[in-house]
């Protein structure tokens, strides 16, 4: 590969280039690895229409709950490797500043962080690809994650879940595959009955939604996912804008 103002460099190509190359970025990670990222302009390649429509509610108990009731468990990559991370950070703190030993231990800490990031990114890619291949219409929550992490009790878990990364992967994969992707305001989706439209207050500890009007009893995340789907279909004009409309039927 030959780069402008740099010259010829040896690379291990991950996959053949598609489309027309536009930009190239060279970066070095904290673990000393070099990566070349090439952005290409490509044409969309629509997938066959499956006719399936899904609403997705993300959370900390379950990473994603679909409007069909299916749930994906939250892998919690940071929590899983937290013991290794603390151990390597203690050894780093014990090393004297400016020594080669401290530099080696800094590399070890960086490798643990890199491993967590790679696992999280791989998970987001796999989940988003599975949903894009499956659904013609995908509706998600338009979450203000930057504001949500101000809650110091949940900040680490929210950042570990990486909802923004997941939804960004969903958005560009859906556009490339010709799918309809919609992000809706999630306000009151957990507190509104997805069958009759009745609204009632729920605390975070209440994991089941029980409607006193129509008798509907559902997991609160499942109920929210159905409401999210209805809002998305209303925005697309696929169902009437009526609180009694059940898009999941």
Just list the catalytic residues: 57, 141, 221
Task: Identify how many contiguous H helices and E strands the chain contains and give both numbers.
Answer: 7, 11
106 C-beta neighbours (distance < 10 Å), count: 16
- Identify the CA nearest to 139 among candidates 181, 190, 89: 181
The angle, 0 to 180 degrees and rounded to 10, between the axes of the packed helices 82-94 and 100-134 is 160
b/e for 32-55, b at 16 or more Cβ within 10 A?
Answer: eeeeeeeeeeeeeeebeeeeebbb
Question: Residue 29 and residue 243: Cα distance in Å, rounded?
Answer: 50
Q: Which residues neighbour 34 within 8 Å (Cβ) at sequence distance 6 or greater?
A: 26, 27, 28
Question: Residue 92 and residue 106: Cα distance in Å, rounded?
Answer: 6
Classify 100 as helix, strand or coil.
helix
CA torsion 111→38→121→224, rounded to 10°? 150
């Amino acid at each position: 590969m030959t780069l402008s103002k740099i010259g010829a460099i040896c690379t291990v190509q991950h996959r053949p280039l598609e489309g027309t190359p536009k930009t190239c970025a060279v970066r070095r990670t904290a673990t000393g690895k070099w990566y070349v990222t090439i952005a290409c302009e490509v044409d969309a390649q629509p997938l066959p229409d499956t006719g399936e429509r899904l609403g997705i509610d993300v959370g900390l108990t379950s990473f994603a709950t679909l409007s069909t009731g299916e749930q994906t468990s939250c892998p919690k990559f940071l929590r899983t490797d937290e013991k290794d991370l603390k151990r390597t950070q203690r050894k780093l703190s014990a090393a004297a500043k400016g020594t080669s030993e401290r530099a080696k231990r800094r590399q070890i800490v960086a490798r643990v962080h890199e491993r967590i990031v790679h696992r999280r990114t791989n998970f987001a890619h796999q989940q988003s690809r599975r949903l894009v291949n499956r659904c013609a219409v995908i509706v998600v929550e338009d979450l203000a994650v930057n504001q949500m992490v101000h809650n110091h009790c949940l900040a680490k878990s929210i950042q570990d879940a990486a909802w923004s990364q997941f939804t960004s992967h969903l958005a560009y994969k859906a556009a490339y595959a010709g799918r309809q992707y919609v992000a809706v305001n999630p306000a009151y989706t957990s507190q509104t009955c997805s069958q009759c439209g009745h609204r009632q207050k729920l605390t975070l500890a209440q994991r089941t939604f029980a409607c006193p009007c129509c008798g509907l009893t559902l997991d609160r995340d499942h109920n929210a996912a159905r409401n999210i789907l209805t809002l998305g279909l209303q925005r697309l004009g696929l169902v009437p804008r009526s609180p009694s409309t059940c898009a999941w039927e």
